[in-house]
Amino acid sequence: MGSSGAAAGRGDRTEQPPMRDALIAAAFRLFTERGYEQTTVDDIVALAGVGRRSFFRYFPTKEDVVFPDHERCLADMTAFLAGSPDDAEPVTRVCDAARLVLRMYGENPSFSVQRYRLTKQVPGLRAYELSVVWHYERALARYLRERFAGHPDGSLRADVIAAAVVAAHNNALRSWLRSPDRVDAEAALGHALAQVREAFGTVPVPPSQALPEDVVVVVSRRDVPLWRVVRELESARGHG
């Protein structure tokens, strides 16, 4: 979920506006030629052939043009979790969400590698990336908190698992970005998520959900006839 791996423009399920793509292309060309700090928004719009207002229509800050897709990725992941079936196993579901995000980020490998190298060079972009990662982690934790409601350590468990899933995703993503020709990103993520599943794969049922409301447990002495137990139970229900 480190956004250094996200794709821009190409591969989006909804086609991006040509002007937006032109701004991204112009920005990265200038970042490569001049450096990130030396490139201004005026430089970017001049190369793209548009006005400043057009830039800020798509990107609130210069940092946002480096991470043009994280909002879409986050929204898609959140929608995926919100659409989870009631019987979905929570840890499996958040692991699947991580796989979904990785596929989104792998839509444009050359862009992904280019951005990864840029963020390594610019401390401000690394800090921005951490804020992006935090939003993904919070979205996973919110889903897990809802699923673990009623468990004594539900909130704690949700936060720990969310952090573990993000760490597994980022480990696989960065391994791929460092060696895109040698590392299979999906296989690397599967291996990393297997560690998460091994540690947290079985989620105990919250105590409040252990028995249905209409289950009655009867305690009786062994020498009491069954018919008497049944009659007393029926009598108790009649007076309930």
Number of Cβ atoms within 10 Å of the Cβ of 144: 26
Q: Do residues 199 and 234 both lie within one domain?
A: no
Structural domains in the chain (count): 2
Residues 94-119: tens digit of each pLDDT:
999 999 999 877 888 899 899 999 99
The CATH number given to whatever domain includes residue 35 is 1.10.357.10
Per-residue pLDDT, 108: 86
The helix (run of H) or strand (run of E) holding residue 228 is helix 226-238
Q: Do residues 54 and 37 both lie within one domain?
A: yes
Q: Do residues 181 and 199 both lie within one domain?
A: yes
Contact status, residue 50 vs residue 23, Cβ threshold 8 Å:
yes
Query: Rounded distance, CA 47 to CA 156, Å?
Result: 49
What pTM value is reported for the model? 0.76
Phi/psi class of residue 156: alpha, beta or left (left: φ > 0; alpha: ψ in -120 to 50)? alpha
Q: Do residues 123 and 223 both lie within one domain?
A: no
Residue 232 confidence class, pLDDT cut points 50, 70, 90: low
Structural domain containing residue 31: 3-207
Q: Do residues 126 and 234 both lie within one domain?
A: no
